[in-house]
Amino acid sequence: MVDSPFTFTLSMSEIIPSRVDNHIERRLSDLQGQFNDQAAFDKMLSTEDQLLYEVYEVKRPEIEGEMLLGVSIVHPGKVGNEFFMTKGHFHSVLETSEIYYCIRGEGYMVMETPEGETSVALLTPGKILYVPPRWAHRSVCTSRLEDLVTFFIYPANAGHDYGTIEQIGFRKLVVDGVNGPEIIDNPRYK
């Protein structure tokens, strides 16, 4: 079967795309064990299970040749001195890449390979980031009031390996330092 081409719009002022097949919400409790300051995490969670980020997906068959695309929105905030972030993952098919286009806010993409290389890319509106195959990736919002909004596209057969990051964490963290956001070594990296 041959699909018909389709268009949709992503307004710079609205940020929610005109076509959405799936809306994912991830809350504080979904990131249990991922933030450095567990006491701050527990305290926050005892008050409210805050919404940290959302993903608006355009669904396609998850097979080779197709692409998945959508918008990721990380809300501003911190757990202790660590900025709100996504869970982060490797792709299950490690040899698959991803492209991000930052459309609003400011933040970082924290990345690393299984071999231990690390890279942290600044995201500002208009910036395009190419995440090559093998690099785990996590978005971090460092804007104080604005969401970090990115458009992403990646091969539909990539799949997500969340387990590795849940167990070992990322090697680098983004924290709020005396002079603003700072990239530091993760003291709890396993």
Interface with ligand F6R by CB under 6 A: which residues?
Answer: 26, 55, 72, 86-89, 98, 137, 139, 152, 154, 160
Task: Select 36 or 70, whichever has its Cβ closest to ligand F6R.
Answer: 70
Task: Select 98 or 147, whichever has its Cβ closest to Zn ion.
Answer: 98
**Residue 72 binding target from Zn ion, ligand F6R, none, CB below 5 to 8 Å by type:** ligand F6R
C-alpha to C-alpha distance for 3 and 97, rounded to whole angstroms = 24
C-alpha to C-alpha distance for 143 and 88, rounded to whole angstroms = 19
Starting at the edge strand that comes first in sequence, how are the strands of the sheet with 107-112 ordered?
118-123, 107-112, 136-141
Task: Select 44 or 152, whichever has its Cβ closest to ligand F6R.
Answer: 152
Kindly list the residues in this chain that would bind Zn ion in the complex (CB under 5 A).
Answer: 98
C-beta of 15: minimal distance to ligand F6R in Å? 14
Task: Select 28 or 131, whichever has its Cβ closest to Zn ion.
Answer: 131
* Residue type at position 181: P
Instruction: Show the CA angle centred on residue 131, arms to residues 94 and 82, nearest 5°.
Output: 100
**Residue 78 binding target from ligand F6R, Zn ion, none, CB below 5 to 8 Å by type:** none
Distance of CA 170 to the CA centre of its chain: 13
